[in-house]
Amino acid sequence: MTLRFIGTTSEHGNCPTLYEVEETGDIVVQGDRLTDPEHLAQLRDVGAGETFVVIPRELLTRFAPKE
């Protein structure tokens, strides 16, 4: 799997960051893990291997693919 850096709104190498899996076009998100128990309780259909990250809206609106 080859990741292509898309962009970040962070300075000095801190997250959050977006990457694209070149072979599939899927997007990988790097960010701070969601740990708030109230927020976690509201999530639906959580798979055993899934985790959740918090990313600023600005990162998505600036760098997320438009297609």
Task: Report pLDDT digits (tens) over 21-54.
Answer: 999 999 999 999 999 999 999 999 999 999 999 9
Predicted confidence (pLDDT) at residue 65 exceeds the cutoff of 80: no
Task: Enter the pTM of the model.
Answer: 0.78
Put the strands of the sheet holding 3-8 in their side by side order: 3-8, 17-21, 27-30
Distance in angstroms between the alpha carbons of the first and the last residue of the chain: 21
